[in-house]
Amino acid sequence: MKVNKEKCIACGLCVNDCPARCIRLKDNKATIINKICIECGHCIAICPKFAVTTDEDKMKEVIPYKKETFHIEPENLLNSIKFRRSIRQFKDQEVETEKIEKIIEAGRFTQTARNNQDVSYLVIRKEIDKLRLLVMESLYHMGQHILENLTPENMSHKRYAKMWVDVYEAYQKDSNIEDIIYYQAPALILVLSPTPINGGLASTNMELMTNALGLGTFYSGFTVRAAQNNQKIREFLGLKEEEQIITCMAIGYPKVNYLRTVPRNDAKVTWL
């Protein structure tokens, strides 16, 4: 992080807003201690004179705030969140690369703990059928294990275990059975991170962007479950040792139109 001493007016805004407390006023100018800086960019965003910058390539994507293009009416945002549905009916239509890139941008700009930016993304389009089969195989073996070792503690898993076994066995007889893994979605985005909260936060913003682009998505929990400790799936996806699948977003153009929001249970809130 660099400070243009000629532009700096020593207003102290960056000093007060720095979460790492690594900015000082020295000789009436802001000075950044880069050894402890987490590169969150607060100083760039808050400086009234645009005196703080970083690498030139990174600065190319910095955009000045304009209310007309940045502000979202609170009621519209809340209605959008209320209206979203998990989509499991998709058109036979490819998702444009440009739209997938915008969805990933929404994840890239989501906050991360200590600004680690440790979230990455794996887009799958051509290899969905191969991944689907690997997921079904993994779930089949998990289902068999559960059914053979039923206890009062795992009895609630019996229904899913039986479904996983039945679906895989049916697939062995007819590969054209109904796709209950991805529902024929034309694209998947796997959100990867060693930090679950970071990947989860990114996924939420990515879903908002997905809906804004006229697309639909659902989170494939089956994929996340199947990939846990499954070396065959991890090798197929080329995952690094520290990378974990936080979410798997199946994405496509919805083949269904919803007309209204739905009820929800009252929020459980404690005020202290």
- Give the integer Cα–Cα distance in Å for 219 and 181: 10
Spans of the chain, pLDDT less than 50? none
What's the pLDDT at 154? Answer: 85
Q: Which CATH number fits domain 86-266: 3.40.50.720, 3.30.300.30, 3.40.109.10, 3.40.50.920?
A: 3.40.109.10
Q: Which CATH number fits domain 2-59: 3.40.640.10, 3.80.30.20, 1.10.287.3510, 3.30.70.20?
A: 3.30.70.20
What's the pLDDT at 204? Answer: 98
The Cβ-side half-sphere exposure at 242, using a 13 Å CA radius, reads: 6
Residues 6+ apart with CB under 8 A from 37: 1, 20, 22
Instruction: Encode pLDDT of 52-102 as tens digits.
Output: 999 999 999 999 999 999 999 999 999 999 999 999 999 999 999 999 999
Numbered ranges of CATH 3.30.70.20 in the chain: 2-59
Contacts by residues 2-6 (CB-CB < 8 Å, ≥ 24 positions apart): 2/32, 2/52, 2/53, 2/54, 3/29, 3/30, 3/31, 3/32, 3/51, 3/52, 4/51, 4/52, 4/53, 5/29, 5/51
What's the pLDDT at 262? Answer: 97
Numbered ranges of CATH 3.40.109.10 in the chain: 86-266
What's the pLDDT at 152? Answer: 87
- Tell me which amino acid residue 192 is: L
What's the pLDDT at 153? Answer: 84
The tokens describing 119, both together, are: 């979230």
Q: What is the helix (H) or strand (E) element at residue 124, kind and residue range?
A: strand 120-124
